[in-house]
Each structure stands twice: as C-alpha cells, then as structure tokens.
Amino acid sequence: MNGQKVALVTGGMGGLGETISTKMVDAGYKVVVTYSPGNSQHGEWVKDMKAKGYDITAVACDVSDFDSCTKAVAEAQSKVGPVDVLVNNAGITRDTTFKKMDKVNWDAVLRTNLDSLFNMTKQVADGMVDRSWGRIINISSVNGSKGAFGQTNYSAAKAGVHGFTKALALEVARKNVTVNTISPGYIGTKMVTAIPEEVLNTKILPHIPVGRLGKPEEVASLVVYLASEEAAFITGANIAINGGQHMQ
Ligand code: CAA
C-alpha cells in the first residue's frame, strides 16, 4: 500500500484508546477516534492532543447504535479517507454478581462491547476487501477467556468478540484483510482502578504472576504490530497480554 494509512480507533479518548491512538500516530497513521456522544470533553481532548503534537480527528459515535456508526464512519471517511485499520476498542463494564444483574446492565454491556463489532466493522469491511488490504483489531479481555466474578455480561461479550474475529478472519483472509483479537489482562486504566481497592489487592493482583498491572503502552504496541505489514500472516488469532494471569 502506498500513502498514509488511516486508522480508526473506537473509544479513542479512553485509557487504552488514547494510548493506542497516539502510538498509531507515532507509527505514521492518520488517526480518527470515536467518542461517546455524551462526552463533553472531546473538544479539550483534541486541543490537548494537538498541543502534544498529535493531530487526531474525533467524531461522535454511539458504537452500540448501528445508525450512529454509519453516520460517524461516513463523517470520518469524508475527513480522512477510507479506513485501512479498524480498532474496535470501545467498551464498558457494569460489574455485579449475576444474582443482582438486571437486564439493563446485561444489554448495555452486550450492545456496547459486542454489537459494536457488527455496527462498526460493517461500515469498513467491504472497502478493505475491495482495496485488498485491511486490518481489524478487536480488543477483548482476559475475562472473555477465563471468566470473572461479577462479570457474566462482560465475559459473555468479550468471549463473543473472539468468535466474531475467527469467523470474519476466514471470510476475508484471501483479500489481505486480517482480523485479530487482543485479550488484555488488568491494565492500569480507569476501568481497572475503579475496582474496589480491597478486591483488586486481594482477589486480582495476587493472581498476576508478573506482580503488577499492565501498561496501556504494552497493549498499544501490540496493536501497532498487528496493523503492520509484517503481521500479514497473523489472522484469526487471540493474543493474550496479561502478565501470565491466564495461559491458554
Ligand atoms: N473471586 C472470589 N470471590 C470474590 C471475588 C472474586 N474475584 N470478588 C468478590 N468476591 C467475594 C467477596 O470476597 C465477597 O465474599 P464474602 O461475601 O464472603 O465477603 C463476595 O464475593 C461479595 O463481594 P463484594 O462485597 O465485593 O460484593 P459486591 O456485590 O459489592 O460487588 C463485585 C461484587 C461488583 C463483583 C465486586 O466484587 C467487584 O467489582 N469485583 C471486581 C470485578 C472485576 O474483576 N472487574 C474487572 C473490571 S476491569 C475489566 O473488566 C478490564 C478487563 O478487561 C480485565
């Protein structure tokens, strides 16, 4: 491929998403992020990034809503061109034991963390196939592979992510479009620091053999690699990055 490639990162202003976005800029991509329509900080974020030397386009998008994704991707592509790399990163937690979980918490997590893959990938996959080049990188979780106390909704959605990856990878492999899952463990972002300290210290950290939380940079570097030309032979993979917490 010639010219500057375009990467779209959903949830690109979040803990992991921001680091993925800046690493992709560093790697030479034109980057567009989506942010949740309720996020009133987006203007500030874009300005801050610009001040740090990162020229990143931002579009509002509710990834759980198909029509919102259609509009957002059309807006993004009109600003920066066709999307070559899609990073499905946006995600939420609504942790609670199954006994206390209600339908609202179930639906919110399934729609945001799993339906979003259909909603976003549908907008860009045909274009990648037509141009015979593309990378789809889906951010799942260690808890999609091993389950987690208080996360029936999240674990179900994140397990579903890899099923999507494997099926789509088969369909587009001949067209130089790779589809992969990254399953991060507990990374030092707001999502993880929101876990009650006692639970984090007694139930989670002792089970991470390297003895610490992961760093967003560690996951972002893997995204950059999977997006690269060198990673063309990796498709349908689920790459764990969890400090040894769960070995497949
Ligand atoms: N394993 C075993 N037992 C656990 C447990 C665990 N991981 N977590 C809690 N328990 C136990 C508690 O010790 C407690 O036991 P006792 O009643 O005997 O004291 C019981 O379950 C109830 O625990 P809580 O008092 O914490 O109950 P709660 O209803 O207030 O909260 C919870 C339950 C919401 C699940 C809370 O424990 C929690 O937030 N846990 C963390 C869940 C988690 O790991 N989320 C990951 C978020 S980060 C993420 O998702 C990113 C990623 O991809 C990795």
| Two structure tokens written together for 235 | 């498709």
pLDDT grade for 2, boundaries at 50, 70 and 90: low
The string of pLDDT tens digits covering residues 44-90 is 999 999 999 999 999 999 999 999 999 999 999 999 999 999 999 99
Whole-number Å distance between alpha carbons of 114 and 94 = 14
Whether 154 is a known active-site residue: answer: yes
The CA 115 to ligand 1 mean position distance, Å, reads 25
- Shortest-distance atom of ligand 1 to CA 158: 53
The CA 143 to ligand 1 mean position distance, Å, reads 13
Ligand 1: which of 149, 154, 203 to mutate, judged by most atoms within 8 Å of the beta carbon?
149
pLDDT at 1 over 80: no
User: What is the edge-to-edge ordering of all strands in the sheet holding 85-88?
Assistant: 57-60, 30-35, 6-9, 85-88, 134-139, 177-184, 238-241
Q: What is the distance between the terminal CA atoms of the chain, rounded to a whole angstrom? A: 34
The string of pLDDT tens digits covering residues 156-172 is 999 999 999 999 999 99
Ligand 1: which of 95, 197, 205 to mutate, judged by most atoms within 8 Å of the beta carbon?
95
Contact 179, 202 (CB under 8 A): no
* Domains in the chain: boundaries: 6-241
Please report how the helices 15-26 and 216-227 are oriented relative to each other, as an axis angle in degrees rounded to 10: 50
CATH 3.40.50.720 for domain 6-241, yes or no, is yes
The CA 200 to ligand 1 mean position distance, Å, reads 9
Contact 158, 89 (CB under 8 A): no
The CA 150 to ligand 1 mean position distance, Å, reads 6
Core vs surface per residue 88-115: b (16+ CB within 10 A) or e = bbbbbbbbeeeeebeeebbebbbbbbbb
- Out of 54, 154, 186, 225, the active site residue is 154
* pTM exceeds 0.85: yes
State the DSSP code for 135. Answer: E
* Backbone angle region of 55, left / alpha / beta, with phi > 0 → left and psi within -120 to 50 → alpha: beta
